[in-house]
Structure 1
Amino acid sequence: MELAHVRLLVSDFAACYRFYAEVLGLKPQSGAAEGPYEKFSPTTGAAGIVLQDRATMAGLLGEVNDTVSGHRSLVVLRVDDLDATCDRVISRGATLLHGPAATADRMRTAHLKDPEGNLVELQEWQLLNV
């Protein structure tokens, strides 16, 4: 597994976007200042910080978008074989909340929670056929 990024689930996307871009000076990947998703890259290092609209993730997981007790962060781990990884973590006692399923053109994900209720996303990218 490789740490892909830490994703922060936010309610005021535009304000958080401005903070990470203008206050911290991180470089936005696409310039999607209104969301619902943006990755910020530091000047050094491979992993970045991603903002995602909290309501979008709540909808994906079939949960209520509760800003008081709702999820605030998501650790994203990139894996080579999502199905095998899911089978392995299930055999070790994990319960999947979602997936494995396609969530973007070239990406499949599965979601689970750690013992404290923090969200973890297992993410597999599929290569383009060129």
Structure 2
Amino acid sequence: MELAQVRLLVTDFPGCYRFYRDVLGLTPQFEAADGPYAKFTATGGSVGIALQDRAQMADVLGALAEDPRGHRSLVVLRVDDLDHCCAEVRARGAVPVHGPAPLTDRMRVAHLQDPEGNLVELQEWLIPRT
């Protein structure tokens, strides 16, 4: 597994986008000031911070992402074989709350919760990133 990003689930996407771009000076990987998703990199190319519109994530996770006082972030881990990884974590006691399922035409994902209820996304890229 490889840490891919820390993703923040936000309700004020444009305001958060401007904060990370204009106030913190992070570089957007692509322009998306109105969302619903953006990823930023810091100097040195460290692991990115991503923003995702909470309503869009609620379409995937339902009640786990709907409540604005609820989940505010998730840790994203990239894996080579999502089905194999899910079988391994199930055997170790994890219970996926979503997936494995396609998220886009480029990736499949599964979501888990840790013992404190924090969200973890396992993602497998189907098409190499460009």
TM range (shorter): over 0.9
- CA RMSD of superposed structures (Å): 1.2
Say yes or no: does 1:33 pair with 2:33: yes
Consecutive unaligned residues of structure 1, counting only runs of 5 or more, are none
- Distance (Å, rounded) in 1 between the aligned partners of 2:53 and 2:97: 19
**After superposition, what is the alpha-carbon deviation per residue over 1:41-67, rounded to whole angstroms, capped at 9, x for unaligned?**
111134100000112112211216111
Matching residue of 1:16: 16
In 2, Cα distance between equivalents of 1:49 and 1:5: 6
State whether residues 5 and 48 of structure 1, in contact with CA within 8 Å, keep that contact through their aligned partners in structure 2: yes
Given that 2:107 and 2:127 are in contact with CA atoms closer than 8 Å, whether structure 1 keeps it comes out as: no
Q: Is the 8 A contact 2:78 2:123 kept in 1?
A: yes
Deviation at 1:104, TM superposition (A): 1.1
Structure 2: where are the runs of 5+ without partners? none
Distance across 2 between alignment mates of 1:62 and 1:27 = 30
Residue 68 of structure 2 is matched in structure 1 by 67
Return the offset for 1:36.
0.6
Q: Please give the TM-score of this superposition, normalised by the length of structure 2.
A: 0.93
The aligned amino acid for 1:83 is: D
Q: In 2, Cα distance between the equivalents of 1:10 and 1:28?
A: 16
- Residue 115 of structure 1 is matched in structure 2 by 115
TM-score (norm 1): 0.93
Distance 2:75 2:123 in 1: 10
- Which 4+ runs in 1 deviate beyond 2 A? none
Equivalenced residue count is 127
Percent identity of the aligned residues? 67
Amino acid at match of 1:66: D
